[in-house]
Structure 1
Amino acid sequence: MLRKIIHIDMDAFFASVEQRDFPELRRKCIAVGGNEERGVIATASYEARKYGVGSAMSSVVAKRKCPQLIFVKPRFQVYKEVSNQIREIFLEYTDLVEPLSLDEAYLDVTVNHKNIEVATEIALEIKQKIKERTNLTASAGVSFNKFLAKIASDYNKPDGIFVITPKMATEFIENLPIKKFHGIGKVTAERMQMMGIHTGLDLRNLELEKLQREFGKSGLYYYNIVRGLDNREVNPTRIRKSSGSETTFSKDIETLEELQVALFPLMEDVWNWSTNTTIFGRTITVKIKYNDFTVSTKSKSASFVIKDKVLFDNLCYELLTEGFTATKPVRLLGVSISNLDTKDKDGTQLEIPFREYS
Structure 2
Amino acid sequence: MQPEISQSDLAAVEKCHKAYLRIREELAKVIVGQQRVIEEVLVAVLARGHALLEGVPGLAKTLLVSSLAQATHLTFKRIQFTPDLMPSDVTGTDIIQEDPKTGERGYKFLPGPIFANMILADEINRTPPKTQAAMLEAMQERQVTAGGRVYRLPDPFFVLATQNPLEQEGTYPLPEAQLDRFLLYIKVDYPSPAEEWEIARRVTGGHQGTIEPLMTGEELINFQRLVTRIPISDQVLGYAWALVRASRPSTDESPDFVTRWVAWGAGPRGLLTLVTCAKARAVLHGRCHATIGDIQALLKPALRHRIAGNYAAQANNLTSDRLIEMLVEAVPADAKYEKPENSLV
Per the normalisation by structure 1, the TM-score is 0.28
Structure with greater strand share of residues: 1
Bigger radius of gyration among the two = 2
Which structure is higher in RCO with an 8 Å CA cutoff and minimum separation 6?
2
Higher helix fraction (1 or 2): 2
